[in-house]
């Protein structure tokens, strides 16, 4: 029975291709989670920055996704998903290595630019890899297949956190309370520590790029070279399920990046955690994220995706209320538990949003769902400004609202399924 299920999700002939794409999913999970703790690090390195200003590192990172999603779709339409993946990986690698001259310049804006280029690569990569996985097997199991691929994302996330903890945070100077304390004369050395993991990642990704380049991929491009972008976008905008999915994805990514970025602010305030202990809590959160993504992927054999998403979003809302209103250890545990809920959301919203789309609409529609990653660029600084304005507990009203929107989308999709209009 297990063999049949596996075969229905992923045909044997496409398994090596799936494995190579899974490495890409790991790659952007790794990049995202090395970056998350850096808001606080950059605030210490460049002491004149406010929390809002330091969070602009996240703005430039996720704004890159937004800018490159449509070009990523154009590449897949004009050429192929494989070319799109290679272009995306190439820019990712370039962004990693551009951090070196940014370190020599000791300029925060140069770091923002390097992360922007890196994220442009990730935007093209995700725009091509996600729909590629959807089309690697039967249409009926597309959402399950994407959840399976996305299950490799938290593996990269956990690896990213360990790299951040061992190669960055453990190497930075701290005061007697265990908090970051970076002297002005050590700024160059500190920046060198920050970029070291990215140089390692960039070097490994060169090998992945070569493997993908020499591997024959299934030809899923059956469209003509005529783009018809305007016509396809018009068709997509007339589909209410797709429109709502893009909105839900915007709020989901905003929630995920905000929750993880400001864990580094919340735990020290609420339970007096040192920087080292905070990273340990964050690692536990990512482990929960990874474990529950596998659990939810398994549950999708028995429970409809929209129903599962609705339940999980409601639980995330309740946990967010604990973070805001109760705080202390209850708030800290609730904050960690939110990651378990979030593990289901991105691939499920992506898959649900692509339901009812033909192949051409899926290629272009994927770009809209990746552009929605702009939520990380917009909502993360917004939460940072709320921390500057009031406090970190209150700032978690931002993820609370995000989870409410996701719950509304899940309920709407469930209603469409009941009417049999997807």
Q: Alpha-carbon distance 194 to 38, whole Å?
A: 8
pLDDT in tens, 231-262: 888 888 889 999 999 999 999 999 998 998 89
Average pLDDT over residues 315-319: 98
Percent over 70 (pLDDT), the chain: 92
Q: Per-residue pLDDT for 39 more than 80?
A: no
Tokens in use for 357? 């789309």
Q: Per-residue pLDDT for 223 more than 50?
A: no
Average pLDDT over residues 390-410: 96
The CA-CA-CA angle for residues 217, 219, 225, to 5°, reads 130
Rounded mean pLDDT of the chain? 85
Tokens in use for 321? 């209320």
Domain assignments of the chain as residue spans, ordered by start:
13-215+230-418
pLDDT in tens, 158-193: 888 788 778 887 777 666 555 566 666 677 788 888
Cβ pair 286, 339 in contact under 8 A: yes
pLDDT in tens, 43-74: 777 877 787 888 788 788 888 878 887 888 78
* HSE-CB for 8 with a 13 A CA cutoff: 10
**pLDDT score at 411:** 95
Q: Which band of pLDDT confidence, cut at 50, 70 and 90, is reported for residue 224?
A: very low
Cβ pair 313, 338 in contact under 8 A: no
Which of 1-5, 249-253, 416-420 is predicted with the least confidence, judged by mean pLDDT?
1-5
CATH class of 13-215+230-418: mainly alpha
Average pLDDT over residues 373-388: 89
Q: Which residues of 154-184 are buried (b: 16+ CB within 10 A; e: fewer)?
A: bbbbbbbbbbbbebbbeebebeeeeebebee
Average pLDDT over residues 111-127: 90
Cβ pair 246, 126 in contact under 8 A: no
**pLDDT score at 227:** 55
């Amino acid at each position: 029975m297990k063999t049949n299920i596996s075969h229905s999700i992923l045909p044997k002939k496409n398994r090596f291709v799936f494995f190579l794409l899974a490495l890409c999913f790991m790659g952007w999970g790794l990049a995202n989670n090395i970056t998350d703790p850096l808001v606080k690090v950059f605030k210490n390195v460049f002491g004149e920055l406010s929390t809002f200003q330091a969070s602009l590192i996240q703005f430039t990172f996720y704004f890159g996704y937004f800018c490159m999603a449509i070009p990523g779709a154009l590449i897949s339409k004009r050429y192929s998903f494989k070319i799109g993946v290679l272009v995306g990986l190439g820019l990712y690698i370039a962004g990693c290595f551009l951090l070196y001259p940014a370190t020599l310049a000791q300029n925060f804006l140069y770091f923002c630019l390097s992360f922007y280029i890196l994220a442009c690569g990730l935007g093209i990569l995700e725009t091509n890899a996600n729909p590629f996985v959807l089309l690697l097997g039967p249409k009926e199991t597309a959402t399950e297949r994407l959840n399976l691929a996305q299950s490799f994302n938290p593996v990269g996330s956990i690896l990213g956190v360990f790299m951040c903890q061992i190669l960055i945070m453990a190497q930075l100077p701290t005061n007697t309370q265990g908090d970051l304390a970076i002297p002005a004369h050590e700024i160059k050395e500190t920046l060198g520590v920050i970029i070291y993991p990215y140089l390692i990642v960039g070097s490994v990704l060169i090998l992945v790029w070569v493997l993908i380049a020499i591997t024959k991929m299934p030809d899923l491009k059956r469209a003509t070279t005529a783009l018809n972008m305007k016509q396809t976008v018009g068709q997509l905008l007339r589909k209410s399920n797709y429109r709502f999915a893009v909105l839900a994805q915007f709020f989901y990514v905003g929630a995920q990046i905000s929750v993880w970025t400001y864990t580094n602010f919340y735990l020290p305030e609420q339970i007096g955690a040192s920087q080292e202990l905070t990273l340990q809590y964050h690692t536990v959160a990512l482990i929960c994220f990874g474990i529950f993504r596998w659990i939810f992927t398994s549950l999708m054999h028995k429970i409809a995706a929209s129903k599962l998403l609705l339940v999980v979003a409601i639980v995330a809302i309740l946990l967010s209320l604990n973070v805001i209103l109760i705080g202390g250890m209850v708030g800290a545990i609730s904050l960690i538990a939110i990651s378990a809920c979030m593990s289901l959301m991105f691939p499920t919203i992506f898959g649900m949003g692509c339901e009812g789309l033909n192949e051409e609409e899926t290629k272009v529609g994927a770009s809209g769902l990746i552009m929605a990653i702009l939520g990380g660029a917009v909502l993360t600084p917004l939460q940072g400004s709320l921390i500057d304005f009031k406090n970190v507990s209150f700032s978690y009203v931002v993820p609370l609202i995000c989870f409410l929107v996701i719950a509304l989308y899940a309920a709407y999709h469930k209603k469409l399924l009941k009417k049999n209009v997807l």
